[in-house]
Structure formats: structure tokens, C-alpha cells
Amino acid sequence: MKWGIFAISQVPDQSQRVGAFDDTMRQFRLADELGYDTVWIAEHLFSTYCIVNSAQVLAAAVARTTNRIKIGTAVVVIPFNHPFRTAGDFALVDILSHGRLLFGVGRAYNPSEFGGLNLPLEKSREMFIEGMDIIVKAWGDEAFTYQGQFWTIPQKTQSLPKPVQTPHPPIYCAVTSTEAFDLVARNGWNLELASTFSYRFYRNEWMERLEELLHGYEKACTKYGRDGKAAERMLMIPFFVDETTEGAIAKHGKHVDWFLNKLSQVSGSAVDKPKVVKGYELSGTEGPKTVAMGYQTHEKMLQYGAAIAGDPETCIAKLRLIKERLGITEFCLWYDLGGIDAKSVERSMRLAAEKVFPYV
């Protein structure tokens, strides 16, 4: 069983952004010292939902301020940059970290990000597939040309530097749909799951639906000649442990609600009646429905196990249940949401390492 810490760098008060990043980097070093396996970082644009606009910049900083812990991205948004640049940037991160990079990728879901960059949201899947093809080729030994729909490399070019890990850093992919699970099975990548998004789409049935999707993924692996149990299954989940369940909920709950409100703003709510875009049908229909039905709250997420806040015994029981039902190999714990104070986060991180992890 592996344990990670997730940070999306949500800074509601932008006047505190310098101190907030200082706190985050201290938490990453603490995770390294406490024996956590992975630091997972995200990137987003144009909102306090997340103010990291370049995962490679933050990953490089983490590489030089930690010693042992792996550095995962959840996720690098492939359509937002030229894949050649992305390949080179993260090869450099792998070098700076002495081979500790876990390369997590996705195609994004926020319409305002695509609008701000003047990119077609409805083409994100095609851009993602083409971009990943270029990145994997770029990490190989040979110079190559490429003629794609979105990117062209007209003359034989070799991407440098090469990553430390061979043939390349482990690839993880964010998955919520049948198509995404099939793509991951076909390529032999690792799975990045998130309770927040499975719950947003499937509400009280999120775990049952995720079980069905994973069963379909395993069948797809068999079809492609792969072992459906071999890949890592990382699950990101809002998490907080305290001496008492009441204390954990009181400290974490309002910050989770802040995040959920922001998620509705960037993804669309029932009030907005967002346009349903090809490839984002769940976002455009089920997401707003979840908000309208009153499911998108910390209280409801706790009720249905999509967030965990409690005393050590409560957290152990809930983590065990998810692990057993979904075959999770790593929990990526999200302590630091919506401006929660750093001392509370660090205290919870220590308590989890001491009184939760050994018993799951």
C-alpha cells in the first residue's frame, strides 16, 4: 500500500500566496520525512481553484527540496502546451529528482481554461491522444518527424534531455469514463482515480459505478493482452484525521465546501445550464444535477464515503472499505483544501502516518 499527499494550491486570499506556497513546500518536506510515498501536484489556469499554471515549475522545486519521495502530477494537461516542450520539461524534472517523477496526464475539464487559450474543448481528447504519442516518441532515442492534426514536427528532431527512468517515467492517466479506461488499458498506463469526480458524476452510487468501470477496464486489459491487476490504482480523496470525528469534520468540512463551490463555478452548475460538449457529457449533465439535488456538500460526500474525516478508527475503516472494493494500490490524501491552516494540515499528516497507515 502506498500513501500520497495531494496539493492543488488553492489560495482563496491571493495576498497570502507567497506564504501559502511556503506552507505547501514545508508540507512536502514533512511528507518526505514521515515516509509518505508520493507528492501529487496539479495545474490549472485563471482561478483561485488552483494557482499553479505550470506543474513542471512546481515539480522542479519539489525535486530540489525533497530527497526520497516520488513526485507525481495529477495532472499535466496535455492540450495546453506543445508536446515536445512538455516532454523536455518533464525529462528535466526526472533528472533533477534523480528519477522520482510519476507522469500523470489528462485533458482538463474547465471550459474557461480552453476559452482563455482559444483552444477547442470538443477536440481535447484528440489533442490528448496526439500529444501523448509525441511525448512518448520524444522520450525515445531516435530523432523523428511528425505530421498530426494539431502539431507538426517537419524536420527530424531529437528531444533532449532524456529522462533518467527508462524507457520513460511511469505514466498515469486521469480516468472517469469508459473511453478513458479503455485508452489506459490499451496503452498499459497506470490509473489516476478521484473520488471527487466520480462522486460528482454518480453521487451516492459512485463506488458501485467505479467498480463497474474497473471491471470493464480489466476486460479491456485482457483484450489487449495485459494483466488488469498489474497497473497502479491511485485514488485521490479529501481526507482529514483528528483525535475525534467531530474535530476532524469541524476543521476540514468548510474548506471542502469551499472547493466544491469552486468546482461548480469552473465546471458549471444547474443554474449556469452549461452547454453539453462532446466528450464531456457527464460534466454537462450529471455534474449540474449533483449540485441541483444538493449532493455536492462535504456532509453528503462524507455520508457516501467520497470524503473521509474522522478519528483514526473511522478513517481506517473507510479506507479499508475503498481499498477492498476498488483494488486501490495508493491513496492520495487531500488534506489541504480551500485555505485550511497549515498547522492543522501538518498535525493531521503526522497523525495519519502514526495511527492510520500501519492499520490499512
- The Cα angle at residue 277 between residues 275 and 283, in degrees rounded to 5: 80
Give the pLDDT confidence score for residue 273 in this predicted structure: 61
For the segment 25-47, the average pLDDT, to the nearest whole number, is 97
**Positive or negative CA dihedral for 258, 262, 267, 273?**
positive
CATH of region 2-359, choose from 3.40.50.1820, 3.20.20.30, 3.40.50.2020, 3.30.70.20: 3.20.20.30
- 296-310 pLDDT per residue, tens: 999 999 999 999 999
Residue 215 CB coordination number (10 Å): 12
| Phi, then psi, of 7 in degrees rounded to 5 | -135, 125
Boundaries of every domain in the chain: 2-359
Cβ proximity of 27 and 342 under 8 Å: yes
By the 8 A CB rule, do 335 and 356 touch? no
Q: What is the mean pLDDT of residues 143-163?
A: 97
* For residue 272, pLDDT beyond 60: no
Radius of gyration for the chain, computed over Cα atoms and rounded to the nearest angstrom: 20
Range 285-290, long-range pairs (CB < 8 A, 24+ positions)? 286/200, 286/201, 286/202, 286/203, 287/200, 287/201, 290/199, 290/200, 290/201, 290/203
Instruction: For the full predicted model, state whether its pTM sits above 0.85.
Output: yes
| pLDDT for 265 beyond 90 | no
- What's the pLDDT at 276? 85
pLDDT band per the 50, 70, 90 thresholds, residue 270: very low
CA distance 293 to 158: 52
Is residue 268's pLDDT more than 80? Answer: no
- Neighbour count for residue 169 (Cβ, 10 Å): 25
Which pLDDT band holds residue 283 (cuts at 50, 70, 90)? confident
Least confident of 210-224, 238-252, 268-282: 268-282
Which cell numbers hold the place of 203? 453521487
List the Cα angle 354/206/249 in 5-degree steps.
40
Query: What's the distance, Cα to Cα, between the start and end of the chain in Å?
Result: 8
pLDDT of residue 69: 98
**Is there a cis peptide before residue 161, judged by omega within 30 degrees of 0?**
yes
219 contact partners, CB below 8 Å, separation of at least 6:
228
pLDDT tens figures, 331-343:
999 999 999 999 9
**Residue 19: how many CB atoms within 10 A of its CB?**
12
